[in-house]
A and B are shown apart, each in its own frame.
Chain A
Amino acid sequence: MSAATQMTPQRETGRKKRWFGRRLRGGMAYGALILVCIAILIPIVWVVLASLKTRREVFLEPLGLPAVPQWQNYTQILETAFPANIANSVIITVGSVVPMVIFSLMAGYVLARRVFLGRRLVYVVIVLTFAIPFHSILVPLYRMVDALGLLNTFAGLILPNIAIGIPFSVMIFYSFFRDFPAELEEAARLDGCSPWRILFSVVLPLSAPVVLSVVILQTVNVWNEFLWASISTTGDEVRPWTTGIMQFQGEYSSDWPRILAVVNVVMVPLILLYLVSQKYFVRAFAGMNK
C-alpha cells in the first residue's frame, strides 16, 4: 500500500511526459506531411496561375495572383493546331483502350479459369513481356509499321498501343478472376449454361470495378503516350497532343503563359477525373499489389 502511494506522483509525471511526447510527435507528423503537400502543390498552382498572367507578370510576380486574368491565353490556343491534336488523342485513346480492355478481359478470364493447350505458354510470355518499354522494341516496330504502310495513320498509332497495354491488363484481369468465387460459375454450369452465357450473364456483371480500374489506368497510359507517337507521326493529320505540345513549345518558346495554358488544358481534366474517381485510380495504379 505504501509502495502504491509512492508510485502515484511518478506515474503522474510519466503520463504528462507521454502526453507531451504524443503532442510533439503529432505536430511533427503534421508538419512533415504539410511540407510535402506544399512541395507537391506549388508547381501545380504556379502553372495554373501563370497560364492566366501576362508574360511580364509571370516573370515579375511568379506566385502572385494575376492582376487581370488573361483568358485570351486560352482562347488563342483555339487558333492553333492544338484542338485538332486533342481530337486526335481522343480518337487514339478510345480506339486503343476499348479493344485492349475487351481482349485483355477475354484472355485474362480463360487464363484464370479454363484448361487448354498452350495456356501455360501464353501466361509465361505475358509475365515476361508486361514490363517491356516501347523504346526497347522501337526499331523493329517502326520497320514493321512502315512496311504495313501504317506510318502517319491512326491504325499505326493504335495497334502498337493496344499491344503494349495487353500484357499488363491481362495480368490484372487474371488475378481478379483467379480470386473470383468459382461457385457461381459452377452453379451456372450445372444449370446447363454454355461458357458464353456464363461469361456474359454471371462473370461480366460482377467485374465492373476491375474493368473500370483497367480502363482508367490504360486511358491515362495511352492519353499520355509520347515516344511511339513522336516516332511514327510526322504530319499534323494524326498528331496527338503529346507531340503537339512539343511543337507548340518550340514555336512559342518565350510565350510562357500560352505554353502553360496548353499544359493546363491537358493537366486539369486529368486531375479532375482523378478527384472524382479517386478510388479506382488508386486501385488501378496500385493494381500490382493486389
Chain B
Amino acid sequence: MASTRTINRALRGPIFDYIMIGPAVVLFSVFIVWPAIQTLYTSLFAEPTKGGAFIGLGNYREMMGDPVFWIALRNNLIFILANLVLQVGLGTVLAAILDRGIRRGSTLMRTIIFAPLVIAPVAIGVMWKMILEPNFGLLRQLADGIGLPFPTQGILGDPYLAFPAIIGVGVWNYVGFMMTIMLAAMQGISKDVYEAARIDGASAVQTFISITLPGVRYALVLCGLIVIVGSFKTFELVYVLTAGGPGNATQVLGTYIVESAFLVFQPNYAAGMSVIVLLVAILFGSLQVYNRESKVKT
C-alpha cells in the first residue's frame, strides 16, 4: 500500500516531469549540445591528415592570417549593417505606412510583401540566379529595354556587384519578416496617444519619431538581433547564388566553413571558425530572449 502511494506520488511529481522533458533533452543534447562541445574541442587540434596533434590556439592563429577568413567575416558584418538599414529600416517604414498611412488594401499588401518568406532559400537562389544571369536573365533584358549598360560577366560574376546583389535578394526575401514584427508592435500602441498628438498639431513625421519609434523600441532591438544572428546563419543564398565567388568576394563564414570542412578537408580549421559562429549565435540568441523578457516585465 505504502509503496503504491509512493509510486503514485512520484508519477504525479518528478517522474511526470522527467518523462515530459526527457525526449527533448536527450535529442538536443546528443545532436546539438554534444557536437557544439566537440566543435570547440576539435578546434584545438591539428588536421587529422597532419597528425592531429594538440596545437592549442594554432587554428585560430591560422585564421588571423587567412585573408579569406577576413573577407568572410567582413561580408558578415556588411550584411548586418546593410540589413539593419535595408531590412529593418525599410521594414519599419513600410509597417508605419501600413499602420497609419493608408486605409484600404493593407491586408493585400501585407500578404504580398510577406510572401517570399515562405519560399525555400534554395528555390530563391535558383530563381534569382536566372534573373541575374548575364545573357538572358530578366534583369539583363530589363536593362537592355531601358538602355542601361549591363556588366559583361554578369552581376554575380562581378566581384564588386555580386555581394550587393546577394544583399538585394536578401532584402527581397526578408523585408516582409521585419515589417510583420514591426507592424505587430505598432498595432500595440494605443490610438489615444496618436489622437492626442494630432490634436496638438504634430506632423506625421514628428508623430513617427516621438510616438511610434519609442513605442516599438523592443521590437526594433529584436529585429536588430535577428539580423545579427541571421547574418551568421546565412548559407543557402550565398551557396546557390555564387558559392562564395567570384574569387572569394562573396564568401561568408557559413559558406567558408562548409568549404573548408568538406571541400578542402580541413575540418578542425573549420571548427575554429564554427566556434566564432557558435559564440555569436549563443550571445545574440540569448540577448534576444533577454530583450523579450525585459519587454514582458515592463
Of A3-11, A30-38, A73-81, A206-214, the stretch lying at the interface with chain B is: A30-38
Contact call A107/B25, Cβ cutoff below 8 A: yes
Bound together, the chains give a CA A39 to CA B172 distance in angstroms of 8
Bound together, the chains give a CA A194 to CA B11 distance in angstroms of 9
Bound together, the chains give a CA A138 to CA B39 distance in angstroms of 9
Is there a chain A Cβ closer than 8 Å to B57's Cβ?
Answer: no
Is there a chain B Cβ closer than 8 Å to A67's Cβ?
Answer: no
Contact call B31/A289, Cβ cutoff below 8 A: no
Is there a chain B Cβ closer than 8 Å to A224's Cβ?
Answer: yes
Given A106-B20, A132-B281, answer yes or no on A139-B270 (Cβ-Cβ < 8 Å): yes
| Cβ contacts under 8 Å, A290 to chain B | 292
Contact call B28/A136, Cβ cutoff below 8 A: no
Bound together, the chains give a CA A25 to CA B131 distance in angstroms of 34
Given A263-B126, A289-B184, answer yes or no on A111-B278 (Cβ-Cβ < 8 Å): no
Q: Mark A131-161, 1 if CB is under 8 A from B, else 0.
A: 1111111111101100000000000000110
| Cβ contacts under 8 Å, B161 to chain A | none
| Cβ contacts under 8 Å, B121 to chain A | 224, 226
Given A133-B277, A245-B123, A289-B219, answer yes or no on A167-B118 (Cβ-Cβ < 8 Å): no
Apart from the given pairs A32-B93, A226-B121, 5 other A-B contacts in the complex at a CB distance below 8 Å? A34-B109, A107-B20, A138-B270, A270-B120, A282-B180
Q: Mark A268-279, 1 if CB is under 8 A from B, else 0.
A: 001101110010
B241 to chain A, nearest CB (A): 12
Bound together, the chains give a CA A275 to CA B229 distance in angstroms of 28
| Cβ contacts under 8 Å, A122 to chain B | 21, 25
Is there a chain A Cβ closer than 8 Å to B194's Cβ?
Answer: no
Q: How many residues of A contact B (CB 8 A)?
A: 95
Contact call B120/A30, Cβ cutoff below 8 A: no
| Cβ contacts under 8 Å, B278 to chain A | 132, 136-137
Is there a chain B Cβ closer than 8 Å to A190's Cβ?
Answer: no
Q: Mark A54-89, 1 if CB is under 8 A from B, else 0.
A: 000011001100000000000000000000000000
| Cβ contacts under 8 Å, A127 to chain B | 285-286, 289
B85 to chain A, nearest CB (A): 15
Contact call A131/B97, Cβ cutoff below 8 A: no
Q: Mark B4-44, 1 if CB is under 8 A from A, else 0.
A: 00000001111011101101110110111111101100100
| Cβ contacts under 8 Å, A44 to chain B | 115-116
Which chain B residues in 115-157 approach chain A with CB under 8 Å?
A: 115-123, 126-128, 130-131, 136, 138, 141-142
A59 to chain B, nearest CB (A): 4
**Secondary structure at chain B's binding surface: helix, strand, loop or mixed?**
helix
Contact call A159/B285, Cβ cutoff below 8 A: no
Which chain B residues in 250-285 approach chain A with CB under 8 Å?
A: 254, 257-258, 261-262, 267, 270-271, 274-275, 277-278, 281-282, 284-285
B274 to chain A, nearest CB (A): 4
Bound together, the chains give a CA A282 to CA B183 distance in angstroms of 11
Q: Mark A220-262, 1 if CB is under 8 A from B, else 0.
A: 1001101100010000000000100110010000001001100
Contact call B261/A138, Cβ cutoff below 8 A: yes
B205 to chain A, nearest CB (A): 10
Is there a chain A Cβ closer than 8 Å to B158's Cβ?
Answer: no
Bound together, the chains give a CA A282 to CA B118 distance in angstroms of 10
| Cβ contacts under 8 Å, A182 to chain B | none
Is there a chain B Cβ closer than 8 Å to A91's Cβ?
Answer: no
| Cβ contacts under 8 Å, A180 to chain B | none
Contact call A195/B12, Cβ cutoff below 8 A: yes
